[in-house]
Amino acid sequence: MEVVRMYGGQAPIFILKEGTDRVRGKSAQSNNIAAAKAVADAVRSTLGPKGMDKMLVDSMGDVVITNDGATILKEMDIEHPAAKMIIEVAKTQEQHCYDGTTSAVVIAGELLKRSEDLIEQNVHPTVICHGFRLASERAVELLEKHSTSVTDEDTLAEVAKTALTGKSASAVKAFLADICVRAVRSVGIEEDDGERSVDIDDIKVEKRQGGSIKGSTLIDGIILDKERVHSGMPRSVNDAKIALVNSAIEVKKTEVDAKIQITDPSMLAKFLEEEEGYLKGLVDKLHTSGANVLVCQKGIDDIAQHYLAKAGLFAIRRAKKSDMEALSKATGGRIVTNIDDLKSDDLGNAAKVDERKIGDSDMVFITGCPEAKSVSVLLRGGTEHVVDELRRAFDDAVGVISVAWEDGSVLTGGGSVMAALSRDLRIYAEGVGGREQMAIEAFAGALEVIPRTLSENAGLDPVNTIIELRKAHAEGKGTYGVNVFEGGVMDMKEANVIEPLRVVEQAIQSATETAVMILRIDDVISSKAVSGAGMDGMDFDM
C-alpha cells in the first residue's frame, strides 16, 4: 500500500488504492531485466541451422512443434509485463520482415544483460539508453555499407534457403525455395519507376496432410478446399464461366412465423411444386446467363443441386468469403447477391475448373485465370504437425523473398554482419568517449550474441569461434561467419548464406527500442487482480 507520510504529525495520505503493488528503483529494473532475459533464453536454443525445435502443449492438450521464435512466444502464456514487451519485439519483427524473430529477441535479451553489468558499475540507465541509441543508429547506417543489391532469381532462392535452414523443411529447401520464388514473382508488381511491391495475400496457401512435402505445388490460379455438391455434375469444366453468388440458393424462408394449413393432398403437391419451380427458375437463370460453374458462399438446397446437376453445371457451396474475393480478383467476375440480377458480364472466366483427388479427399482447382494476379500453393506433408510447420517455414521463405525483392538489398548471414558491425562500433565508441563509450561498447559486444549462439547451438566452442571470427574480420574478411556444419569460420558469401537487409535492420532497431524502454522504467505500479490488463494503452515516452 502506498503511504505518503507528512511532516508535523499529520495523518498519512493514501494515494494508491489498497492492494496496489509497487516496486521501485533498482529492484524494479532488475526484475524487468530478469524477466526479459528469461524470455530471450527460452528461444535461444532454436537459433540458426542447428537450432532445436520446441514442443508446446496448450491447456487443451493441443501440440505445436516449431522452431519459429514468434510462434513459440505466441503459444507461451506469458504474464510478466516486461516479458510481454519482449514478445512485442518478436511480433513486430514477424509483421514487418517475416523472419529474424529469434534474433531480435536474443539481441534484446543480451542488450539488457549487458546493461545490468553497466548499472552495477554505476553507469546511469539514461546514459546507457543514450549510448544504445547512438550505437543502433550507427549500426543501421553501417548496414548499408555491408549490403549488396541483387534481385536475380538465384539470389532470391538463396535468401529463401537461408530462411529455411534449420527448419524441419530444411531437407527440401531447394524445392520449396523454387516454389516461393515463382510465387513471389508471379504476384509481384514492378512499376515503371522501378518501385516494386508484393502483396503476400495474393499468394493463397492450402494445406493438405498425407503424401510427401515434395507433392507440394504452385498453381497458377486458385485452389478451394471443397468438392462439387452433386456427383452428377461434371468433374471438370473447360472454358469456365463462373457465377459468384453470395446468397443461399434455397427457398426463401418467411420473416414471420407463418403456418400453412394444408387440407388435401393435392394442395401439398402444389405447394412443393411451387417451391421446386422457384428453385428451377433460379437454376434456369444461371444457365441462361451462360454460367457453367457456380461458386456459392452460402448453402445450396438439395433440389437446387439436382437441377444444377441436370443442367450440367459445376457447383460449389459454402465457399469462404476470402476465397470469393480471391476468385473475383483472379477471374474478373463480380460477386452477386441476387441471381435475378446476374448478367453474362458478371461471370468470371477461367480456362479450367476441375476437381482432383488430393490425399484422401477432393479439392477444386480453378486455373488459367485471365487476371491471374493471385496464385495458390498447395502444401503437402505426412502429418498435421509436419504440414503446420511447413506452412510456417513457407510463410517465412515467401516473406523474405518478397522483402528482398522489394528492397533489393541483401546481407551475408551466419553472424558475419553482426561481427562486422561489432568491430565497426568498437572503433566508433572510441571516438564518442565518456560513459556513452561504455554503453556503445556493450552494444557492440551484444551483437556478437548472434554468432556466439549460432556456434553454441551447433555444439561448437563459442569462445574459440568468436576469437576466430574477430581475427578474420581484423584481416578484412568482412563476410566471414560461423561454419555451423564443420566448426570454425568461413565466407558466408561463398556458402550462400544471405538474408534481406530489412530483416537485420528491423531486428537491431526493435531490440534496441525495447531494451531502452525497459531500462527507463524505475517504477512498476500494478493494480491487483484485474486479469487481462496488459501493457496495452500505456504510453512510454522515449
Per CB under 5 A, the list member of 99, 110, 346, 395 interacting with Mg ion is: 99
**Which grid coordinates are listed for 396?**
517465412
Span 58-77, contacts to ligand ADP by CB under 6 A: 69
399 interacts with, out of ligand ADP, Mg ion, none, CB within 5 to 8 A per kind: none
- In the set 71, 165, 374, 465, which binds ligand ADP (CB under 6 A)? 165
Among 36, 48, 394, 516, binds ligand ADP (CB under 6 A): 48
For residue 217, give the nearest of 367, 100, 327 by alpha carbon.
367
With respect to ligand ADP, which residue has the nearer C-beta, 40 or 339?
Answer: 40
CB of 205 to ligand ADP, least distance (A): 20
Q: What stretches of 177-301 adopt beta strand conformation (E)?
A: 189-190, 196-197, 203-209, 217-219, 221-224, 236-245, 293-296
Burial of 263 (0-12, 13-18, 19+ CB in 10 A): exposed
Partner interacting with residue 216 (select from ligand ADP, Mg ion, none; CB below 5-8 Å by kind)? none
Distance CA 109, CA 512 (A): 10
Q: In whole angstroms, give the CA distance from residue 297 to residue 295.
A: 7
The site string for ligand ADP over 386-425 (x = CB under 6 A, - otherwise) reads: ---------------------------xx-----------
Grid coordinates given for 540: 512510454
CB atoms within 10 A of CB 26: 12
49 binds ligand ADP (CB under 6 A): yes
Task: Select from 91-99, 302-310, 376-384, 445-453 the region that touches Mg ion (CB under 5 A).
Answer: 91-99
Query: Residue 526, CB half-sphere, CA atoms under 13 Å: how many?
Result: 17
Rounded distance between C-alpha atoms, residue 104 and residue 499, angstroms: 14
Name which of ligand ADP, Mg ion, none residue 414 binds, using a CB cut-off of 5 to 8 Å depending on partner kind.
ligand ADP
Among 169, 172, 187, 484, binds ligand ADP (CB under 6 A): 484
455 part of the interface to ligand ADP, by CB under 6 A:
no
From the list Mg ion, ligand ADP, none, pick the one residue 505 interacts with, judged by a Cβ distance below 5 to 8 Å according to partner type: none
| Contact status: 514 vs ligand ADP (CB under 6 A) | no
Residue 103 binds: one of ligand ADP, Mg ion, none (C-beta under 5 to 8 A by kind): ligand ADP
Does residue 221 interact with ligand ADP by CB under 6 A? no
- Asked whether 508 and 100 are in contact (CB, 8 A), the reply is no
Q: What is the dihedral of CA 477, 479, 481, 487, to 10 degrees?
A: -60
Report in angstroms the alpha-carbon separations of 187 from 1, 14, 152, 522: 59, 62, 16, 49
Region of 93-101, 212-220, 304-312, 316-324 interacting with ligand ADP (CB under 6 A): 93-101
Is 331 a residue that touches ligand ADP (CB under 6 A)?
A: no
- The answer to whether the CB of 367 falls within 8 A of the CB of 351 is yes
Among 499, 505, 509, 521, binds ligand ADP (CB under 6 A): 499
Backbone dihedral angles phi then psi of residue 489, each to the nearest 5 degrees? -120, 160
Please say which residue, 100 or 368, places its beta carbon nearer to ligand ADP: 100
Q: Examine residue 92 and tell whether it contacts ligand ADP (CB under 6 A).
A: no
**Does 500 interact with ligand ADP (rule: CB under 6 A)?**
no
Catalytic residue among 99, 202, 301, 396: 396
Rg of the chain's alpha carbons, rounded to an integer? Answer: 30
Q: Is 348 in the site for ligand ADP (CB under 6 A)?
A: no
Q: What is the 3-state secondary structure (H, E, C) of 131-174?
A: HHHHHHHHHHHHHHHHCEECCCHHHHHHHHHHHHCCCHHHHHHH
Of 350 and 495, nearer to ligand ADP (C-beta) is 495
> Which residue of the set 66, 71, 101, 514 is catalytic?
101
Q: Is 263 a catalytic residue?
A: no
- Distinct helix (H) and strand (E) counts, the chain: 16, 23
101: contact with ligand ADP by CB under 6 A: yes
Give whichever of 66 and 367 is closer to ligand ADP, judged by the CB atom.
Answer: 66
* Cα separation values, 103 from 48, 166, 178, Å: 9, 14, 25
Q: Return the number of the residue (403 or 497) whose C-beta is nearest ligand ADP.
A: 497
| The one catalytic residue among 46, 92, 102, 367 | 102
Residue 169 Cβ, how far from Mg ion at the closest point, in Å? Answer: 12
Neighbours of 199 (CB within 10 A): 12
Which part of the chain contacts ligand ADP (CB under 6 A), choosing from 42-50, 58-66, 287-295, 318-326?
42-50
Distance between CA 236 and CA 338 in Å, rounded? 26
Active site residue 101: yes
Shortest CB 498 distance to Mg ion, Å? 12
* C-alpha–C-alpha distance, residues 507 and 92, integer Å: 9
Q: Are 375 and 368 in contact (CB under 8 A)?
A: no
109 touching ligand ADP, by CB under 6 A: no
For residue 442, give the C-alpha cell: 556493450
Q: Which residues are catalytic?
A: 68, 101-102, 396
Q: Which residues bind ligand ADP (CB under 6 A)?
A: 46-49, 51, 69, 99-103, 162, 165-166, 413-414, 450, 454, 481-482, 484, 495, 497, 499
Q: Which residues bind Mg ion (CB under 5 A)?
A: 99
